[in-house]
């Protein structure tokens, strides 16, 4: 594969289930060696998109290229090169956990060390337990181990930490970081915004079957949805002069007596405008703080705060 070629290139993807349009013209590029998080409310089309990239679903329109190949037509060539987290449908419930992992490892030319992988995901103690007797979190970790044991070039992880305890969650994060350090491309979906913030180089927010915003977590949080400056000073300051000095699109309010809030694109210049204004007004801004929007703020802002059916 050409080194400049993206790991995943999705263009104009459409996927319908009967009357439901699950994916509606979705574009997504996953750079090689990067971690891309696909976020979106329930029903946004994330799983459908991932399953189409994995070759389990055929697009109704648009194109999908994974490592330069067509996931359906070139499935036989692609499968050994990608790691997929199968949910319970893909396993034999009676098989023992570690045997399944060893079996999967043997299907690959250069697998990871099975015992080391099992140990780091806390699966070593349940090696002789049958799949059906594993806890939900253990099944989840086994699915993750099976996805990565073959040293794939690209891994798809659909909600890899859903239902995991905090230790297992951290172990999963460390594993994803190590994959990235080894040059593996990772595509993951998650409902945990902190997870995306911690792990992702690139975040794509999906809503209604298309990508509505994307960028690095930093870019998305810095976006002109803006950040805030808060400070406290004596109540009742005349904010008109501050508003005049601030750039267009900013706002300055006193939500409660003596508490001031400046909203806008917070950069050094804006901060200087605020402190200069304070100096001219002869007030000391107490507890001056610049507050960044979190990815969760941005997500809720973009996808609407209402719970939708
Ligand atoms: P979640 O965060 O809840 O996992 P998602 O973003 O992964 O959601 P999808 O599972 O891709 O969303 O579902 C997108 C839409 O397609 C939903 O409206 C869902 O009900 C519908 N859908 C998904 N799979 C099927 C199917 N096999 N048959 C019919 N409709 C489906």
Distance CA 83, CA 153 (A): 8
The CATH code of domain 8-220 reads 3.40.50.300
The CATH code of domain 226-292 reads 3.30.70
What is the chain's length?
309
CB contact at 8 A, 13 and 59: yes
pTM: 0.84
Distance 95 CA to ligand 1 centre (A): 29
Distance CA 49, CA 28 (A): 10
Distance CA 138, CA 22 (A): 30
| Candidate from 16-25, 37-46, 229-238, 264-273 with smallest mean pLDDT | 264-273
Mutate to test the pocket of ligand 1, among 45, 192, 307 (most ligand atoms within 8 A of CB): 45
Distance 19 CA to ligand 1 centre (A): 12
CB contact at 8 A, 28 and 49: yes
- pLDDT band at residue 224, thresholds of 50, 70 and 90? low
Domains 8-220 and 226-292 share a fold: no
Residue 244 to residues 118, 220, 247, 256, 290: CA-CA distances in angstroms?
A: 62, 28, 8, 21, 20
Q: Tens digit of pLDDT for each residue in 8-19?
A: 999 999 999 999
Domain ranges of the chain: 8-220, 226-292
Distance CA 43, CA 41 (A): 6
> Half-sphere exposure of residue 294, counting CA atoms within 13 Å on the CB side?
10
Distance 7 CA to ligand 1 centre (A): 24
pLDDT of residue 66: 98
Residue nearest to atom 19 of ligand 1 (CA): 43
Q: Tens digit of pLDDT for each residue in 133-157?
A: 888 889 899 999 999 999 999 999 9
pLDDT cut 90: percent of the chain above it: 74
Mean pLDDT of 223-229: 70
126 bridge partner residues: none
For the CA atoms of 242, 243, 244, 250, the dihedral, rounded to the nearest 10 degrees, stands at 120
Distance 10 CA to ligand 1 centre (A): 18
């Amino acid at each position: 594969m050409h080194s400049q070629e993206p790991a995943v290139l999705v263009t104009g993807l459409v996927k319908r289930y009967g009357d439901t349009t699950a994916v509606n013209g979705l574009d997504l590029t996953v750079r090689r060696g990067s971690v891309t998080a696909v976020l979106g409310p329930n029903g946004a089309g994330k799983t459908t998109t991932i399953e189409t990239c994995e070759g389990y679903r055929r697009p109704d329109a648009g194109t999908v290229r994974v490592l330069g190949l067509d996931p359906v037509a070139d499935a036989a060539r692609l499968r050994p090169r990608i790691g997929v987290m199968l949910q319970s449908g893909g396993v034999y419930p009676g098989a023992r956990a570690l045997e399944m992992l060893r079996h999967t490892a043997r299907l690959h030319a250069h697998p990871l060390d099975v015992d080391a992988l099992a140990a780091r995901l806390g699966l070593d103690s349940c090696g002789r337990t049958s799949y059906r007797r594993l806890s939900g979190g253990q099944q989840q970790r086994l699915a993750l181990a099976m996805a990565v044991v073959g040293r794939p070039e690209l891994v798809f992880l659909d909600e890899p930490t859903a239902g995991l305890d905090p230790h297992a969650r951290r172990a999963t994060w460390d594993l994803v970081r190590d994959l990235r350090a080894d040059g593996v491309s990772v595509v993951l979906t998650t409902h945990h915004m902190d997870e995306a913030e911690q792990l992702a180089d690139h975040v794509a927010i999906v809503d209604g079957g298309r990508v509505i915003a994307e960028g690095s977590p930093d870019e998305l949080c810095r976006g002109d949805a803006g950040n805030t400056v808060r400070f406290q000073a004596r109540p009742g300051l005349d904010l008109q002069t501050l508003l005049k000095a601030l750039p267009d699109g900013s706002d300055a309010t006193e939500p409660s007596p003596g508490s001031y809030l400046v909203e806008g694109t917070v950069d050094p210049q804006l901060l200087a405008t605020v402190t200069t204004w304070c100096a001219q007004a002869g007030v000391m801004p107490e507890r001056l703080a610049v507050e960044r929007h979190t990815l969760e703020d941005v997500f809720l802002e973009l996808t609407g705060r209402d719970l939708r059916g």
